[in-house]
Amino acid sequence: MAVCIAVIAKENYPLYIRSVPTQNELKFHYTVHTSLDVVEEKISAVGKSLGDQRELYLGLLYPTEDYKVYGYVTNSKVKFVIVVDSSNTSLRDNEIRSMFRKLHNSFTDVMCNPFHNPGNTIQSKAFDGIVSGMMVPTG
């Protein structure tokens, strides 16, 4: 279960970012922001070799002492970042993958909304619900 989930626009500004309320929100913002360094590097490295046959899931971006940060990039260069507590060892790579897939599907639904302007921050109850389902339950 994630402690922070973020959707980042192609231009690298946040479209959606939510973290567990029990912890320092700012810290997660910094964690997600700094992880973009690795995402950018990975995208550019892959872009050179494989062209468009890119795996969307980027895997573990970088481990810190407290958290593991995973990344996923859609074909339109929208980035998803999931931060997981390092102590949570039960979570497997496959589960992370499926979390990203679910997130991507829900994100696609948001984009299909004719009233949503792509590039604006995501304000969707359905998306909120999906994200909440993936977050560490609090309270």
Partner 1 sequence: MMAGSQWELPPELCCRPMAFVALTGLDVVYNAVHRAIWDAFCANRRADRVPISFKVLPGDHEYPKCRTKRTSYEWYIPKGILKTSWMNKHLNLVPALVVLFYELDWDDPQWKEKQSECATKVEIVRTSLQGRNTKVAVVLIQKKTPLPPGEDLVASERAATLCNACDLSGKSLFVLPHTDHLVGYIIRLENAFYEHAQTYYYTEIRRVKSHKEFLNKTTHQLLFVRHQFKIAFFSELKQDTQNALKYYRTAYSLVHELRAHETNMLEIKTMAGFINYKSFGELFDEAIKLGLTAIQTQNPGFYYQQAACYSQDRKQLAQQLCQAGATPSSEPGDTNTGGLDFYGQRPWRQGHQSIDPPDAEKEKTGILALQIKERDVPHSELIIALLSNAVAQFKKYKCPRMKSHLMVQMGEEYYYAKDYTKALKLLDYVMCDYRTERWWGLLTAILTTALRCAYLMASVKDYIIYCMELLGRASTLKEEHKLRIEKNLIQVLMNEVPDAEPECDPSSDVAARSLWNDRMALAGSNELTIEVQDYITFIQCKAKFQCPSFHVDQPIQLQVFLRADSPHPVSFKKLSVSLSNQEYNQWCVVESAGQESMSLLPGKTKSHNFSFVAKTDDVGKKIELTGIELMLGSDSGRCVFLNWRGAGGDAASTHEALQASRSSRQWRREVEARKELDWDSLTMQQSTMIISRVPKISVQLRHQPPALNNEMYCINVTIQSQEAVVAKGLKLTAGLKPGQDANLGQTTHVSLDGSKVCDDTAPALLPDVPLGDLKPGEKDETVTIDTVVPFEVSVKFVSTKFEPLDQVAVDIPFLLMTDILSLSPWPLLLASSSLELITMNTNTQQQQSQLQEALANSNNTVATGQYLISWRRKSSSADSPFIQTVITLPHVILESVPLYIHAELPSYGRVRESLSVRYHIENRTSLVQEVEMAVEPSDAFMFSGLKQVRLRILPGSEQQMLYNYYPLMAGYQTLPQLNISLPRCLTTNTHTLRRFLPQRIFVKPQGRQLDEASIAAA
Binding stretches for partner 1 (CB under 8 A) = 11-14, 17, 25-26, 29-30, 33-34, 36-38, 41, 61-62, 64-65, 114-115, 117-120
Using the minimum distance from each CB to partner 1, give the nearer residue, 11 or 52.
11
Using the minimum distance from each CB to partner 1, give the nearer residue, 38 or 102.
38
Using the minimum distance from each CB to partner 1, give the nearer residue, 52 or 65.
65
Q: Return the CA Rg of the chain.
A: 14
Q: How far is CA 132 from CA 5, 65, 77, 126, in A?
A: 9, 25, 24, 10
Supply the minimum distance, in Å, between the C-beta of residue 117 and partner 1. Answer: 4
Supply the minimum distance, in Å, between the C-beta of residue 30 and partner 1. Answer: 5
Supply the minimum distance, in Å, between the C-beta of residue 42 and partner 1. Answer: 9
Going by C-beta distance under 8 Å and a sequence separation of 6 or more, which residues neighbour residue 109? 124, 126, 127
Is 109 within 8 Å of 22 (Cβ atoms)?
no
Question: Rounded distance, CA 14 to CA 102, Å?
Answer: 19
Using the minimum distance from each CB to partner 1, give the nearer residue, 26 or 52.
26
Using the minimum distance from each CB to partner 1, give the nearer residue, 61 or 130.
61
Supply the minimum distance, in Å, between the C-beta of residue 91 and partner 1. Answer: 19
- Which amino acid, residue 96? I
Supply the minimum distance, in Å, between the C-beta of residue 89 and partner 1. Answer: 15
Question: Rounded distance, CA 72 to CA 138, Å?
Answer: 25
